[in-house]
Amino acid sequence: MKELQKKLQAQMDKTIEALKYEFSTIRAGRANAQMLDKIRVDYYGTPTPINQVGSISVPEPRTLLINPWDKSAMKEIEKAIRNSDLGLNPTNDGDVIRLNVPALTEERRIELTKQAKKASEEFKVRIRNERRDANDKLKKMQKDGEITEDELKRGQDDVQKLTDKYTKEIDVLLAAKEKDIMAV
């Protein structure tokens, strides 16, 4: 039963890490290289992550610089950025692609906050699914005679406590991200 709890905790930790990564891709008015992580560039017919076709740097708080390793990919990189949901307009000087991250409008902040809330809800569903799977395993163990009914009840209580803990952590992360987005 302890083994089951350790596995569940490890799964939930991974879920929290995935949410943190998801939040890092939602821009909050400042330039950061992770905001480009979801963009795929059509590189010789293969959708390739943008960070695999060039180096990304942040020379100023509101500027991203993409230095493609293959200059022939610049048009495709520009196209991928324009087609993304980031709302950025790339400028190409022949050597590098410059992205100026504009200050967020109130409307865009509200939109990004909704995006963050939606992501946090999806991750809460993942946590609840992990809880359901763990409870199913506990019931099977009890049915197979591996644990008693009291141990089943205790195990389910422990699983619920873990679920509550990680759900609260998601709420804390969401509150921090909302504050980050709404900060002027």
CA distances (Å), origin 44, targets 32, 41, 64: 27, 9, 24
Residue type at 74 in one-letter notation: M
Per-residue pLDDT, 141: 92
Q: What pLDDT band is residue 122 in, cutting at 50, 70 and 90?
A: very high
Q: Tell me if 20 sits within 8 A of 177, measured CB to CB.
A: no
pLDDT at position 170 is 96
Rounded to whole angstroms, how far apart are CA atoms 4 and 18?
21
% of residues, the chain, pLDDT over 70: 98
Whether 80 shows a pLDDT value over 80: the answer reads yes
Average the pLDDT over 159-183 and give the result: 93
Average confidence score pLDDT of the chain = 89
pLDDT of residue 2: 83
Q: CB neighbours of 129 closer than 8 A, spacing ≥ 6?
A: none
